[in-house]
Amino acid sequence: MPRLEPESNASANSAISAYSVVFVSCVARNDSYYTRYTKNVKHFFRVYAKNENEKLPIASMTKIMTASIILDDVKAGKLNLSDEITVSEKAAGMGGSQVFLDANSTHTIKNLLKAVVIASANDAAVALSEAASGSEEAFVKRMNDKAEKLGLSNTNFVNATGLPALNAYSSAKDVSYMLKNLLSHDEYFEFSKIWLEDYVHPDGRKTTMTNTLHKGFFNDEYE
């Protein structure tokens, strides 16, 4: 899951949002697709947009919705960050970005969510989806229901990770609204401030999680 950081050529004008970098992945796929929104979450208005409704694969930005739903459930009392869940064979076998969870090991929702936010961990994302909805497939239905509720007309989810899949897409504008929902949860900011941390497994094994973008974004200048 991408970390938010200021654009390298951003001016001193704070009207240009540091949060807008979440859409750089769309730029990386095609220079024609670009949208930018202000940092002010309360007044979340657009300052620039180009082809913002075009459907594109969004890769790990899918986890914006995954994390949002988990935190929605925590807020609603359906889940607790201290809850321990058992990792399935499916979750442990996910490829791509991961923290190398062992099948049948137990982990707290908080630690798994932290792994998703910091390291974009696919294994943690699937484990969380199964804990929240019984299966990843049932969780994906909730993701699409949430997208419809938010008015995301150019979005369709196929999995909880963003790993390549047919008919999985979103748009820059839709991602901005997903992000707005995620930013309503204080826990996200708690986790996203972490640049480097070891994920400690139940057997004592450690996996270093690195937030690969700018280390110093979340400081007093932007808070």
120 catalytically annotated:
yes
Is 75 among the residues known to form the active site?
no
Determine how many CB atoms are found less than 10 A away from the CB of residue 208: 10
Distance set, CA 96 to CA 67, 105, 119, 162 (Å): 18, 20, 11, 10
Catalytic choice (17, 20, 60, 176): 60
Residue in 17, 20, 25, 63 annotated catalytic: 63
Catalytic residue among 68, 97, 120, 170: 120
Q: For residue 109, which of 140, 141, 77 has the smallest C-alpha distance?
A: 77
Burial class (CB in 10 A: 0-12, 13-18, 19+), 185: middle
List CB contacts of 145: < 8 A, sequence separation 6 or more: none
Residues 33, 27: contact at Cβ < 8 Å? yes
Q: Is 135 a catalytic residue?
A: no
Where in the sequence numbering do the catalytic residues fall?
Answer: 60, 63, 120
